[in-house]
Amino acid sequence: MTKSALQIARAAYQPKLPAALKGAVKVKEGEPTQSVSNQGEICKLFPNTYGLPLIEFVPSGKGGDYPAINVGVILSGGQAPGGHNVISGLFDGLKRMNPASRLYGFILGPGGLVDHNYMELTSDLIDEYRNTGGFDIIGSGRTKLETEEQFEKGYEILKELGISALVIIGGDDSNTNACVLAEYYKAKNYGVQVIGCPKTIDGDLKNEMIETSFGFDTACKVYSEVIGNIQRDCNSARKYWHFIKLMGRSASHIALECALQVQPNICIISEEVEAKNMSLDDVVTYIARIVADRASRGDNFGTVLIPEGLIEFIPAMKSLIAELNDFLACYAEEFSHIKKSHQRDYIISKLSKNNSAVYASLPESVARQLTLDRDPHGNVQVSQIETEKLLSEMVATKLAQWKEEGKYNGKFATQHHFFGYEGRCAAPSNYDADYCYSLGYTASLLIANGMTGYMSSVRNTTAPADQWVAGGVPITMMMNMERRNGVMKPVIHKALVELDGKPFLKFAEMRDTWAKTTDYVYPGPIQYFGPTEVCDQPTKTLQLEQGK
Ligand code: FBP
């Protein structure tokens, strides 16, 4: 495999560990825990894994005697920078406790467990992937582990390979399923522990005990670098408005973090749009006003950040999408026989009055995307809707109207971008490299100490790494009951942007200034070697949340 100079140098990087994990450790047990809400129901559903105490690993004078064990690992869902370091931290932790322990990777996500598709992860292989981005060491997948049949199929191969613990690296849904699996194996007395690790660039798996999901730091730094570059171009040519959509299926953490890093002229936060019950026209008018205001001062350029999930947070669009989902699920056959040129009118005639009016107001291309591209569950694939184009087209229409009315006299030329896949497999920043390695290492200790149904947790991460605090959080502690596909289910509570949280408040305080002035910040590329203030900064979100 040919490697770049940076790859070669980076392979030798030794991720930092919390000081407590550098030598022998012992378990410090905290108080028993409770779920965030619906305690009675969740306790009943998880009789064997509910109410467990918080765990912290603290230094101990003497090393333990650990038997050799076999462990399995799964990467689940979308890629996030640092996954390979979780695996290498897990591997190193297991081998340090007993060199005869073995690690198996299940191929292409949870499906690998069910289909018995696996490989042993040896030290030669692990060394090839240290500090690299991507999930390609074993691949990832989105198969959901939820049925007893899958759990039993998985147990067959775990038994065959003598695996007594499984580490699932995933987002909120995958960790919810990890907890259900832990409960199932415990109830059946199968002797298989299940441990989760918090992954997702979206940043929406976080709570009191999990400060951030891994990958968020690196992905936001990559996006901020390119947005910064665009802003320099924008401020050099002074002739374009750049509409930039940013990944994050649901929550707007990525857009908010990038805004804090680059100081754009406009950033839309979906959670605020929903809380203020804004219509699509309200969002368009908000953007158009800023464009017109800047134009009045001769600035016919700027940047707009748009979170990927926006469309579903606009109450009127949400209702339209819900009706379209139901309608097309029932009348898919009839709809497929309607001529393309008549489809728009057909839909307009079939929807309820309000939704029909919203649908009729959409540009042709977006109206088409809403009716054609559906996922296997019959839902619109929101990430495929070009919200950046939808908004810029609608802003252009509004500005043209204002021009006729004599309210606007500028030029409005646009460029569009979507940043998502560009950042998901980047080489992890020092923060993510260290955080992930520590998460994996901590997972090995949770296993060695007999825990199941826990998520690996590393906290105090805005301090230098040797002051980080490592331990485990019972996954049931993060759960509440939510309606999924019409049924109430125990799930990990998804963390959306909090409008009374410090990161949003900081943005809200600054955004009017950033709209008027051209006060762009150009963060530049991630630095892996150099002074700590350049290389080791955590996200602005985390710093603000922790009062730094
Ligand atoms: P996870 O929640 O699994 O971490 O994935 C997040 C994400 O990157 C979203 O930001 C994005 O909407 C989605 O994955 C894209 O999915 P896919 O990789 O299937 O195209």
| Listed residues 441, 460, 479: the one ending a domain | 460
Average confidence (pLDDT) over 376-401: 84
What pLDDT sits at residue 329?
80
In a domain? residue 492: no
Same domain? 144 vs 262: no
In a domain? residue 381: yes
What pLDDT sits at residue 72?
98
In a domain? residue 246: yes
Mean model confidence pLDDT for the chain: 94
For ligand 1, say whether the CB of 78 is within 6 Å of any of its atoms: yes
Dump the DSSP string for 153-173: HHHHHHHHHTEEEEEEEE-HH
What pLDDT sits at residue 326?
86
pLDDT of 500 > 80? The answer is yes
The amino acid at residue 448 is: A
Same domain? 521 vs 435: no
For ligand 1, say whether the CB of 171 is within 6 Å of any of its atoms: yes
| Listed residues 444, 460, 476: the one ending a domain | 460
The residue whose CB lies within 8 Å of the most ligand 1 atoms, and thus the one to mutate among 200, 252, 379, is 200
CB 391 within 8 A of CB 372: no
**pLDDT, tens digit, 9 for 90 and up, residues 224-243:** 999 999 999 999 999 999 99
pLDDT of 377 > 70? The answer is no
Same domain? 323 vs 387: yes
In a domain? residue 354: yes
Same domain? 343 vs 383: yes
Distance CA 450, CA 357 (A): 58
For ligand 1, say whether the CB of 309 is within 6 Å of any of its atoms: no
Same domain? 448 vs 505: no
Q: Measured from the CA of 174, which atom of ligand 1 is nearest?
A: 3
Same domain? 338 vs 406: yes
For ligand 1, say whether the CB of 523 is within 6 Å of any of its atoms: no
In a domain? residue 284: yes
Distance CA 389, CA 387 (A): 5
What pLDDT sits at residue 287?
98
Distance CA 195, CA 95 (A): 18
DSSP conformational letter for 499: T
Distance CA 165, CA 192 (A): 5
Tokens 């150009």, residue? 522
* Residue-level length of the chain: 548
Contacts of 514 (CB under 8 A, 6+ apart): 263, 264, 265
**pLDDT, tens digit, 9 for 90 and up, residues 148-204:** 999 999 999 999 999 999 999 999 999 999 999 999 999 999 999 999 999 999 999
Which residue segment(s) compose the domain that 191 sits in?
63-215+428-460
Instruction: Name the residue at shortest CA distance from atom 14 of ligand 1.
Output: 78
Distance CA 309, CA 307 (A): 6
Same domain? 291 vs 388: yes
Same domain? 226 vs 93: no
Q: 492: helix, coil or strand?
A: strand
Same domain? 342 vs 449: no
For ligand 1, say whether the CB of 201 is within 6 Å of any of its atoms: yes
Q: What is the CATH number of the domain that holds 307?
A: 3.40.50.460
The residue whose CB lies within 8 Å of the most ligand 1 atoms, and thus the one to mutate among 108, 169, 202, is 202
Q: Which two tokens stand for residue 279?
A: 């219509």
Lowest average pLDDT, out of 356-360, 383-387, 390-394, goes to 383-387
Q: Which two tokens stand for residue 205?
A: 């798996």
Distance CA 328, CA 338 (A): 13
For ligand 1, say whether the CB of 434 is within 6 Å of any of its atoms: no
Q: Which two tokens stand for residue 304?
A: 């707009």
- CA–centroid distance, residue 517 to ligand 1 (Å): 34
Instruction: Name the residue at shortest CA distance from atom 8 of ligand 1.
Output: 78
Same domain? 318 vs 381: yes
What pLDDT sits at residue 49?
97
pLDDT of 383 > 90? The answer is no
pLDDT of 267 > 70? The answer is yes
Average confidence (pLDDT) over 329-355: 90
Give the number of domains in the chain: 2
What pLDDT sits at residue 8?
94
DSSP conformational letter for 546: T
What pLDDT sits at residue 376?
58
In a domain? residue 157: yes
In a domain? residue 488: no
For ligand 1, say whether the CB of 202 is within 6 Å of any of its atoms: yes
Q: Measured from the CA of 202, which atom of ligand 1 is nearest?
A: 10
Instruction: Name the residue at shortest CA distance from atom 16 of ligand 1.
Output: 78
Q: 469: helix, coil or strand?
A: strand
**pLDDT, tens digit, 9 for 90 and up, residues 281-290:** 999 999 999 9
Q: What is the CATH number of the domain that holds 454?
A: 3.40.50.450
Instruction: Name the residue at shortest CA distance from atom 1 of ligand 1.
Output: 78
What pLDDT sits at residue 365?
81
Distance CA 341, CA 349 (A): 14
DSSP conformational letter for 99: T
CB 156 within 8 A of CB 116: yes
Residue 456 CA from chain centroid, whole number: 17
Q: How far is CA 109 from CA 135, 143, 498, in A?
A: 10, 7, 31
What region, left, alpha or beta, does residue 481 occupy, with left being phi > 0 and alpha being psi -120 to 50 degrees? Answer: beta
For ligand 1, say whether the CB of 383 is within 6 Å of any of its atoms: yes
Q: What is the 3-state secondary structure (H, E, C) of 413-438?
A: CEEEEEECHHHHCCCCCHHHHHHHHH
Identify which of 422, 421, 477, 434 has the alpha carbon closest to the alpha carbon of residue 453.
Answer: 477
What pLDDT sits at residue 373?
61
Average confidence (pLDDT) over 414-429: 97
Q: Which two tokens stand for residue 184?
A: 């199932």
The amino acid at residue 154 is: G
% pLDDT > 70, the chain: 98
pLDDT of 319 > 70? The answer is yes
Same domain? 336 vs 443: no
Q: How far is CA 538 from CA 134, 429, 521, in A?
A: 20, 9, 17
384 against 117, higher pLDDT: 117
Q: How far is CA 188 from CA 68, 171, 431, in A?
A: 23, 26, 39
What pLDDT sits at residue 138?
98
In a domain? residue 255: yes
Average confidence (pLDDT) over 86-109: 97
**pLDDT, tens digit, 9 for 90 and up, residues 50-82:** 999 999 999 987 777 899 999 999 999 999 999
Same domain? 534 vs 508: yes
**Could you tell me the pLDDT band of residue 375, with boundaries at 50, 70 and 90?**
low
pLDDT of 46 > 70? The answer is yes
What pLDDT sits at residue 450?
96
Q: 265: helix, coil or strand?
A: coil
DSSP conformational letter for 141: B
Active site residues per annotation: 202
Q: What stretches of 207-252 show up as alpha helix (H) in DSSP?
A: 216-237
> Structure pTM?
0.94
Average confidence (pLDDT) over 256-284: 96
- CA–centroid distance, residue 533 to ligand 1 (Å): 30
For ligand 1, say whether the CB of 279 is within 6 Å of any of its atoms: no
